[in-house]
Chains A and B, each alone.
Chain A
Amino acid sequence: MPSDLLTGAGPGPDAAAPSRSASASAIATTATTATATAIVTGTASDAHTWNLVFLQLLLEELGHEVANLGPCVPDAELVDACRRTAPSLVVVSSVNGHGVSDGLRVIRRLREQRGLDGTPIVIGGKLGISGADNARHADRLLAAGFDGVFDDAAGLSLFQSYVTALPAGRAS
């Protein structure tokens, strides 16, 4: 069932390219909580929303405060939000098939930041266009700096286990 959500819940036009005129102001209002916060974000090119709403609810049930940056978040805005928030976890979600290229680009920029080199950062969703290349995609994404890669439906239960095991999760 999660795969249905992740693949089919996009709004009308399959808007799938970066928004270049975005504002950073709203992140300040949603992402500056005092306690450790998990950041949920779409990738720069992905306009899907429902996957992000779902992940927010799931993380809240697992005991996390969540700042949801929404869809089409440019790399610079995600980096900015992470620097200001010092999140306990960053969850990048992509379902438009560009997750690998978007993910490889943004993880380098995130890991460059001091203070984010040890932050758990994971990516999941439908990451590539063809299912056959998924194992190879996962290796590249992990090598580039992601702590976890959760592809498609099978990834969801693994994702839950991963989050539950985090120190900032329900156990804390």
Chain B
Amino acid sequence: MQLIRPESHISGAEASRPEQLRASHPTFAEFMRRARAAGTLVVQPRMGVADPALMRAGLLTVKHAGPSTAGTITLDSFTRVGDHAAARHALDTGADLNGYPLVVHGPTVTAALLEGVRDARFPVQVRHGSAVPQAIIAAAAAAGLDATEGGPVSYCLPYGRTPLATSVRNWTEACELLADVPDSHLETFGGCMLGQLCPPSLLVALSVLECLFFAQHGIRSVSLSYAQQTDPRQDLEAVAALRRLAGELLTGLDWHIVIYTYMGVFPRTPDGALALLEESARLAVRSGASRLIVKTVAEAHRIPTFAENVQALRAASAAADRARLVVPYTDPGESEVYLEARALIHAVLDLAADHRDDLGHALSTAFRRGLLDVPFCLHPDNAGRARSRLDDDGRLHWSDVGAMPIRPRPGRSSTTAQSAQNTQTAHDSPPPPLRSSDLLTSLTYVERRYDTATPAPLEPSPNPAIPRSTAMPALSDTPPTSVRAHLSDPATRNTLLIQNSIVAATREHLGALGFTEMLPPIIGPVTDPGGRGSKQVDVDFYGHPYKLMTSAILYKQASLLAFDKIFCIAPNVRLEPLETCTTSRHLAEFHQIDVEIAGATREQAMAVAESIVVGAIRRVLAERDAELAALGRDTAPFAEVLEWPFDHVSHADAVADLRTLGLEQSADAEIEWRNEEILSGKAGRPFFVTDYPKGSRGFYDRESRTEPGRLRNFDLIAPEGYGELASGSEREYEYARIVTRIRESGENPAKYGWYLDMAREGIQGSAGFGIGLERLTRYIAGLTSVWQASAYPKVPGVVSA
């Protein structure tokens, strides 16, 4: 596929141009090349004031805010629209201007304010927003500035009524002016458009197309923008698509990716605003972007002060440093975003091919024909047929692609951006009318999410013992960065002493009940197939593929060949999905108190599990009150716990309970983590959920003979929001049933060789369970996060000791 045509102006033949035109001062482009080579994330504010002395002070403040900041001169509205007389008048009369009037101040004033500010460690970019940018570019160049932003589409369609063809002509001239500045740089604003509710594929396509347009008019160093949207995973996919397409199409150009912190309705609380900013910094680092334009805590209220900008730059840099602990995002290749964006770009390149490779003409034509169509954009030159929606999963999708050359995915349920009663697929019927209340709900989705329940970041602040505020408990949930700091922390020592009491109490209790403790294996040819998307770890056992144990289940059943009642405290390794690192209760490596009882019923197993939990709490209350007090654990709720037995609720009743709360929960699946947390938060003491549907659990949970499809199993849920503590069941033990269940779960029975051999010869019926030791410790000690209950925590995705 030939996307860059040899006869086009966009070929790599001119790639050496930056060397040919030497700049007299360190350029923005050169600064970014060095930052990219060093792998640092450059952070940059939006900032502009009318007074040159104040503008200089602001730039110096940003320069000293951190080691990798870039400066910005944001221009005022009059300069933006080319009304320099109005800007002059405002300066003369002392009226307010909302930015720096670059053209009116002239090159001498601007060059003087940059003197000693801009250098090899601190570049300065001009940001404006103009569809008439020629005078701005000329004034910037005359003052020695070499970098700016914009684009013929992105600075035209969202902001008024300048005809697109006029904007294309203006930007053609502007690019040619800027191309005469040595090593000049131009950033596309195409990754933003209306700021929100634009599906990422169109943002990606416009970013790439505008950069191709810049290149066609002589610009050799460009940046591709992408504005943070509603879902971190979709954003990662989008930036990967942007990078892939840039690699394919921007041959011979110097380019990097710049992320904009969310451009839509912003959280009003400082905590919510900072959390959203930090999420954007994580996106930038994990997606391999080179630069981030930040937003501040003032965003929802007013223009930020210099100090608020510095706070934002520092918070973003710190979040970026922490994000480096998380494994980088892997490009998924031909993702949905990539395929859609590529189709949109191709459609425009094909139009250009029919018209002397004129991309500007092709962009105008594409919008006129609706081949590019920005949803909700009211500009007369935008077709206005495309519609987007925010789905229940938080991702942006097309509900109507209009005439764009892409096919929307089959529809899915959505109650946020379209009415709930109309959820037919998007491709066989027109989308239902969007209601004003749905639009408001969609527009404020991010704001509400961050203001009300700040989502847990992937790797929060390095101060686990000190929550930043009660509104943001998740931010205290930071895995330790140092083994020494963690193990010498009094909180860790107190926690491990409590854990020690739990283990001792359990051993004594089970011993008294006649259980024998077995020492569990940690590798074997096969292990628990697990659930909820966790992965197994392979071990090369002299050429045979062995696994690390994800649970002891197969060996627990085997152990009953030796003793009727066994238990072990077994290490398990499950590579949980990366998103579980934010649940506060998943560790990739953890321990279970594993119990198995020959000939027992589920109810007998539940009674033993109950007695372990109650016994552990009694022991800790008796032995470790000082440690509990030091950790700040309120022990009053335990009074209720000690009055067992615990309540039982069936899975079906739990689902009904959740639905009466207005929550979504499938009757045929595992209880969602967040829902389980809600049930847990409502409860005053631990309770059992029984009778999960088949398919939600492993093949070894026995299926009810009287109620097919229901499992004879249970979960034990802690109160106070701590969630699941234990899982257990009666077991399948008849060979034919086991094989059937393995097959039903989509697995090959052959891989369970030794286990099935054993079962074929006959094993006892049994019931048993596993209690998560770190989770039980977390609950009893009252910890924010489960990793605090581990000496060497392995949080999913976080590289550690």
Contact = CB atoms under 8 A, between A and B. Distances in A.
Interface of A: 1-2, 4-5, 7-23, 25-27, 29-30, 45, 47, 49-50, 52-55, 57-58, 60-61, 68-74, 77
Contact of A9 (B127, B377, B379, B443): B443
Contacts of B74: 13
B86 to A, nearest CB: 7
Contact of B81 (A14, A20, A68): A20
B435 A68 contact: no
Nearest to A68: B378
Given A13-B159, A19-B131, 18 more contacts: A4-B268, A5-B265, A7-B300, A12-B129, A12-B227, A12-B260, A13-B129, A17-B78, A19-B160, A20-B82, A21-B132, A21-B161, A23-B380, A25-B380, A47-B158, A47-B159, A50-B194, A57-B436
A58 B436 contact: yes
Contact of B299 (A8, A23, A29, A73): A8
A11 B193 contact: yes
A26 B380 CA distance: 5
Interface of B: 46, 74, 76-78, 80-83, 86, 98, 127-129, 131-132, 158-163, 166, 189, 192-196, 227, 260, 263-266, 268, 299-300, 376-381, 433-436, 439-440, 443-444, 447
B196 A9 contact: yes
A21 B162 contact: yes
A22 B160 contact: yes
A60 to B, nearest CB: 8
Query: Which 3 pairs of residues, A with B, have the shortest CB-CB distance?
Result: A26-B380, A13-B129, A72-B160
Contacts of A13: 46, 74, 80, 127-129, 159
Contacts of A73: 161
A123 B77 CA distance: 23
28 contacts: A2-B440, A4-B300, A4-B447, A5-B440, A7-B300, A8-B299, A8-B300, A12-B189, A12-B260, A13-B80, A14-B77, A14-B98, A15-B129, A17-B76, A17-B81, A22-B161, A29-B380, A47-B160, A49-B194, A49-B378, A52-B378, A57-B439, A58-B436, A61-B436, A68-B378, A71-B160, A72-B161, A73-B161
A17 B90 CA distance: 13
A20 B79 CA distance: 12
B440 A1 contact: yes
B164 to A, nearest CB: 10
A16 B263 CA distance: 16
Contacts of A47: 158-160
Contacts of B98: 14, 16
A77 B268 CA distance: 36
Nearest to B87: A17
A17 B194 contact: no
A45 B78 CA distance: 10
B81 A18 contact: yes
B109 to A, nearest CB: 21
Contacts of B192: 11-12
B434 A57 contact: yes
A4 B195 contact: no
Q: Pick from B81, B129, B162, B447 the residue with the most CB of A within 10 Å.
A: B81
B499 to A, nearest CB: 45
A20 B189 CA distance: 22
B194 A70 contact: no
Given A5-B440, A23-B161, A53 B166 contact: no
Contacts of B80: 13, 15, 17
A1 to B, nearest CB: 6
Given A13-B129, A18-B83, A49 B377 contact: yes
A14 B162 CA distance: 16
B378 A9 contact: no
A70 B380 contact: yes
B160 A1 contact: no
Contacts of A11: 158-159, 192-195, 263
